[in-house]
Chains A and B, each alone.
Chain A
């Protein structure tokens, strides 16, 4: 059973566009929601993470929006660049990111120059 559902599966945007990736979860015990970026042949790298006590968090060009009542969260990439082309995974865990992470299915983002 997929504990975290992610969409879309793939996404193509023009340079400067704002791709949005959405995730949804069922387990209300989850209280830590990170996003990871993975390039081909590499391990995932933490981009940004949020806890349910805030509705939005920004770090550079990356923003997480969180809707606790809907059990949904999303990643927005501002002013996207070709170098942002990668696979993005949302995840969820209980407590901290040091505990078992449940990953979404991934979104392959392509930013066209």
Chain B
């Protein structure tokens, strides 16, 4: 149990386009999902906390207009990178915390590698 999927696993896009990344909790409901960014051989940096039915909470330095987060249901959160530029190229990872309260953990997705040309 507690499986989190991400789609797509990798995406290549041209500079100036927008890219949407989906994060789904497959076998549980998640009131809270988290979005992280990871540069090569670096640590995970929390970008934002996504709560179902409300606005996401962004970490300091993360542009909310550039990284749009929507958490429309208890099993799906999306991250849209708007007007992507090469510096947005990175590994984006989501995580989800089960609503049931049985698990007090974050379960991570497999990540999405974004390359902006």
Contacts and interface: CB of A to CB of B under 8 A. Distances in A.
B42 A98 contact: no
A44 B46 contact: no
12 contacts: A36-B108, A42-B110, A43-B4, A45-B108, A96-B105, A97-B104, A98-B97, A98-B104, A100-B34, A101-B44, A102-B46, A104-B43
Given A41-B113, A43-B93, A100 B104 contact: no
B97 to A, nearest CB: 4
Contact of B111 (A41, A89, A100, A106): A41
Given A98-B32, A98-B97, A100-B49, A106 B41 contact: yes
A46 interface: yes
Contacts of A44: 44, 93, 108
B106 interface: yes
Interface string B39-58: 00111111001000000000
Interface in B87-117: 93, 95, 97, 103-111, 113
Q: Is the interface of B mostly helix, strand, loop or mixed?
A: strand
A45 B106 CA distance: 9
Contacts of A108: 41
Interface string B48-71: 010000000000000000000000
Interface of B: 4, 6, 32, 34, 41-46, 49, 93, 95, 97, 103-111, 113
Residue among A36, A42, A49, A98 with max Cβ neighbours from chain B (10 Å): A98
A36 B105 CA distance: 12
Nearest to A43: B108
A103 B44 contact: yes
Given A46-B105, A100-B46, 10 more contacts: A34-B105, A41-B111, A42-B111, A43-B108, A44-B108, A96-B104, A97-B106, A103-B45, A106-B42, A108-B41
